[in-house]
Amino acid sequence: MIPVLHLVMLAVILGVSFITIFLMVFERDLLKMIVLSAAQSTFYAIVLYILLVPDVVLAYIAVAVGIYTALLMFAVKKTERFEEA
Amino acid sequence: MMGIGEVFWLYIWLIIMANMGLAIYGLIMRPNILKKIACLTVLADTSFIVLAFIGYRFKYPVSPYIMTNWAPNNATITHFISESVDPLPPTLTITAVVINLSITILLVFLAIRLYEVYGTLDVKKIAMIKKELRGGEK
Amino acid sequence: MMFIIVSIPLYIVAFILYAIRGFRGPTVFDSTISIDALCYDVSAFMVILSVYFRSYLLLGAGILLALWAYILDVVIARYYDRLTRIGDSGGD
Amino acid sequence: MRVTGLIAAISILIVLFALAYGLVVLGISGPPAPVKLRLLGEKYLYYMINPATKYFTAESPEGVSAILWDYRGLDTLYETMVLFGAIIGAILVYREYLYSEPRKTGKIYGLSHIVRTVSKIIIWLTIIIAVAFGFTGQITPGGGFIGGAAFAVAPVLLVLVYTLGYARRLGLTHRRALLLRASFLLLLLLVIVTPLIAGGYIFQNQAKPGSAFSFPGRFIDSTPLGGSIFFLNLFELFAVAGAFTVAFILLGVIASLKEGE
């Protein structure tokens, strides 16, 4: 028996994450890119949770939601905010 | 003839590959170095998802790879194996997450250093400045 | 079990609505607040999914996401806010 | 320029769709929507806490910890080396700022009082949860790398909310964090070498044929301890936490360069 509910959840959330990554790649404001990157890592955390890898979810939440945003924010604050062209 | 499971499976793999393609596109074509670093993290995260998919089993009574019975016998181990997902791909992923973090720290520090030297993070402008410097020396 | 299966699509619709506000938000603050709310909703969804998977070992991820979801707000606040002085004899 | 971008996009698309087609339709990674387990994963799950197979067990109910620190221990050791190499490289880029004398100013700045009060609670909770991951890595999800990554959130919050001057007043300097990292890395190597001194094999956990040496497999009340897995998880936690603390102290130094601290 194939659980269709898992597949539907994965399909919908991966579709939303695709839109997030698309907007993130073509975003000119780097600060907004950081916010979209946090949204993308939240969606990926759900996907990893449905795929039943709790260790990876714990490490991934700490790293992607907690640390990458702060690291990129410091870099944006020390350098320039808007991407040319 | 594909069943509903295979159709969903193909759709999910296509989405994952499209995510990877977008990340590679941003990594190659976008000029800002911080954008390139963010795209690199997205590419790494998508590869973690691929690894988790390779170890997954599509059946409903499915459990993580952690045995809750601490004094098992042969029957409980067989029952556990019949429900558990594959433990090898998450093992390879765990260290990759942390190492990816440390490499991103290194790249961000290098990017800030590059801004101190050149005054910009746009790779095209950096190439122009380098060309001017080389022309001025000759 | 029926309650859980009914509630999962509602949560997913809520995620999509939060995501639309996060994508469209005219300013950075709108996006930040909506993504922050999305994080808290996801942590509740993870607890419900752990009931659906019948495994108490999965609960920790939801708790941790609820613990660290506010870091994004702090990051954006640190970008815009002016630092204030910490008093030597204050509450710290 | 536009033509170059179009060519790049089309070629990436062709490669990735070919990869997806091969993975799904041709079945390179196994059948689509797999229900069975692979043989290798099945063997790992069978042997990891099996009292019947005395020479193969790892005494750890969690599959990931058993593979990470027992069956594939040397891989993990080399990956740890990559991690510390990257952190050392990051330190080397900004070494002159890290070893310069900090300005002695009486004023210390930070975010507003509400954020500081909330963050004080969250920082302590983060540290407690990270250490708990290290201690219970062999029976619940968690372990050395996860505990270290969770611990790294605490210095990030410290640098974000209280700036670096407050951390220096608390006594958190990069020298102490480096000392923590180096000493726990030495303890980790000591755990790896101990069976070799006792006449066994390197990276040995439980007794193997030809060597009776074995780390304690069970705690007093028969809670699984995983032998060397428990010690390796714990030491790895503090080593990774020290390494990331150095990196984020350095980030605070960089952030305070022009911020008027």
Q: Which residues of D101-127 are buried (b: 16+ CB within 10 A; e: fewer)?
A: eeeeeeebbbbeeebbeebbebbeebe
* C71 within a domain of the structure (yes/no): yes
Considering only CB atoms, which chain A residues are within 8 Å of C22? Answer: 35-36, 39
The three-state secondary structure class of B32 is strand
Domain that holds residue C69: 2-78
* C86 within a domain of the structure (yes/no): no
Does pLDDT of B74 surpass 70? yes
Q: How many domains does chain C have?
A: 1
Pairwise CA distance, residues B129 & B68, whole Å: 62
Average pLDDT over residues D197-219: 86
Decide if A70 touches D, using CB distance below 8 A.
yes
The H or E element spanning position D174 is helix D174-197
C76-91 tens-digit pLDDT: 999 988 777 776 544 4
pLDDT at B138: 56
Share of chain B above pLDDT 70, in %: 96
Considering only CB atoms, which chain D residues are within 8 Å of B70? Answer: 49, 61, 139, 222-224
Q: What is the mean pLDDT of chain D?
A: 86
Contact: B102, D90; criterion CB under 8 Å: yes
Q: How far is C61 from chain B (nearest CA, A)?
A: 13
pLDDT-based confidence at residue D173 (cuts at 50, 70, 90): confident
Average pLDDT over residues B20-33: 90
Delimit the domains of chain A by residue range. 4-78
Q: What is the DSSP letter of C86?
A: P
Pairwise CA distance, residues D72 & C6, whole Å: 43
Residue of B13, B47, B104 for testing the chain D interface, max D β-carbons within 10 Å: B13
C18-62 tens-digit pLDDT: 999 999 988 999 999 999 999 999 999 999 999 988 888 888 889
pLDDT at C83: 76
Average pLDDT over residues D49-78: 89
Pairwise CA distance, residues D118 & D110, whole Å: 13
Pairwise CA distance, residues C49 & C43, whole Å: 10
* C88 within a domain of the structure (yes/no): no
Does pLDDT of D62 surpass 70? yes
A52-66 tens-digit pLDDT: 999 999 999 999 988
Q: How far is B65 from chain A (nearest CA, A)?
A: 8
Q: Which amino acid is at A52?
A: L
CATH class of B4-137: mainly alpha
Q: How far is D209 from chain C (nearest CA, A)?
A: 35
pLDDT at B1: 55
pLDDT at C25: 81
pLDDT at D259: 53
